[in-house]
Homo-oligomer: A and B are copies of this chain.
Amino acid sequence: MSKKDDLIAATKELLWQVGYESMSPKQVLAESGAGQGSLYHHFEGKEALALIALEEVEAELRLRAERILLGDGSPMERIDRFLTLERAATRGCRIGRLVPEVGVIESSLHAPIKRYFQFLGNMIEGVLLQAKASGEIPEDAHTKQITYLIVAAVQGGYILARAYQDDAAMSTALDGVRSLLAALQQAGPHSAPVEI
Interface SS of chain A = helix
The answer to whether the Cβ of A10 comes within 8 Å of any Cβ in the partner chain is: no
Instruction: Give the interface residue-count category, chain A.
Output: 35 or more
Residue numbers in B under 8 Å from A155 (CB-CB): 152, 155-156, 159-160
CB <8 Å contact, B152 and A173:
yes
Docked Cα-Cα span, A177 to B194, in Å, equals 9
CA distance A21 to B177 in the complex (A): 33
Q: Are B17 and A142 in contact (CB under 8 A)?
A: no
Could you pull out 29 A-B pairs where Cβ atoms are within 8 angstroms?
A: A17-B102, A19-B100, A22-B22, A96-B159, A100-B100, A105-B165, A114-B164, A114-B165, A117-B164, A145-B173, A145-B179, A146-B176, A148-B173, A149-B153, A149-B177, A151-B173, A152-B152, A152-B155, A152-B159, A155-B155, A156-B156, A156-B159, A178-B194, A180-B180, A180-B181, A180-B183, A182-B194, A183-B193, A186-B191
Q: Indicate if A133 sits at the interface (CB-CB under 8 A).
A: no
Is A101 in contact with chain B by the CB < 8 A criterion? yes
This chain's copy number in the assembly: 2
Contact of A187 among B117, B160, B170, B186 (CB under 8 A): B186
Contacts of A92 in B (CB 8 A): 99-100
A97 / chain B contacts, CB cutoff of 8 Å: 100
